[in-house]
Amino acid sequence: MYWAIFGIFHSIFRAAYAEVNRIFDVDNWQMSFMQSVVAVIMLVPFIPFMNFPTDLNFYLAAVLVALIIAVGVVIQLNMTAIQKGRTSSVAIPIEALAAFIMWIVITPYAYAHYIDNPLVTACVVGSFSITAAALYYVRNTDLSWESLVVVAPVGITFAVAAVVTKLVIPADPEQVMAACLAFVLTNYTVMSLVLGIFLLLKKKTGPEMLKPPMLKASALTGVCAMLAYISFVVSVVYAPNPGYTSILAALVPVWLMWYHEIRFIPDKANPLAGFMIVAAIGLLLLATWG
């Protein structure tokens, strides 16, 4: 169940990232670029402990995944500028379901597993369905057709990224962490270049990028994003199906709701919907245990 442990860590670090992003009032375009650079800087000292395979497909996959994530970030930033409602939670069940189906389609043993274990299949489908419904109600979510048309392709391409990641990184306990770190470093290097180009094209560069508020926000979000992504990659590699890791991201609003409750921070999250998410994730973990 390593996948579940790292998947939960992924959701915790994503929640921390979201909270830091809420606190700091800085330009999101600049911060997205800066945090990628911070991640690269923090990963470079660990290069001696990384495993860089000789297989070209590993690097092609890393570049493809980086481009998918970078474009996804750009699309979400554009939507943030024009939408008042929340749309990020809409992508989570789409990504999870798409990754779940893709993995069944391309791996015959996964298809056979779900056919031979109808109870497990029913529990997984039930968990995904409950989580998707609860995510809609846990916070104010903009589910208009205009936002869905944009968010759905982002979720599907993120699912492709998860499946590709699982295909190219070996699940060897002795090599997985070293290979994952190399994969993540390659990702962030490419993302830094792509986001830097977008920053130049949008004429968002300026001296404010080196001011203390931006540097502090970028450093904190960079650490959170890096740890979240490393946890995600490790979880995907170990997971029986990459869709399982993606659906665990539904815990992000739950962590935020609990944190805000402890800190007495106003939060309009729906506690009942949060409970439904936790129950659905619990059902998934029980169904896939072992």
Q: What is the pLDDT of residue 234?
A: 97
For 4, the enclosing helix (H) or strand (E) is: helix 2-23
The Cα 283–Cα 276 span in angstroms is: 10
Q: What is the pLDDT of residue 105?
A: 96
Q: Which of 78-82, 155-159, 172-176, 261-265 shows the lowest mean pLDDT across its residues?
A: 78-82
For 139-195, write each residue's pLDDT tens digit. 766 566 667 777 888 899 999 999 999 999 988 878 899 999 999 999 999 999 999
The CA distances from residue 181 to 49, 67, 145, 188, 232, in Å, are 8, 18, 38, 11, 11
Give residue 87's pLDDT band: very low, low, confident or very high (50, 70, 90). Answer: low
pTM, two decimals, is 0.93
The closest alpha carbon to 92, from 66, 144, 125, 128, belongs to 128
Instruction: Please tell me the chain's helix, strand, coil percentages from 3-state DSSP, rounded to the nearest 5.
Output: 80, 0, 15
- Quick count: other Cβ atoms within 10 Å of Cβ 113? 15
Give residue 84's pLDDT band: very low, low, confident or very high (50, 70, 90). Answer: very low
- Please tell me what DSSP assigns to residue 83: -
Instruction: Please give the average per-residue pLDDT across 222-231, as a whole number.
Output: 97
**Collapsing DSSP states into helix, strand and coil, what is residue 205?**
coil
Give residue 109's pLDDT band: very low, low, confident or very high (50, 70, 90). Answer: very high
Q: What is the pLDDT of residue 85?
A: 44
- Cβ–Cβ under 8 Å, residues 242 and 103: yes
Cβ neighbourhood burial of 106 (10 Å; 0-12, 13-18, 19+): exposed
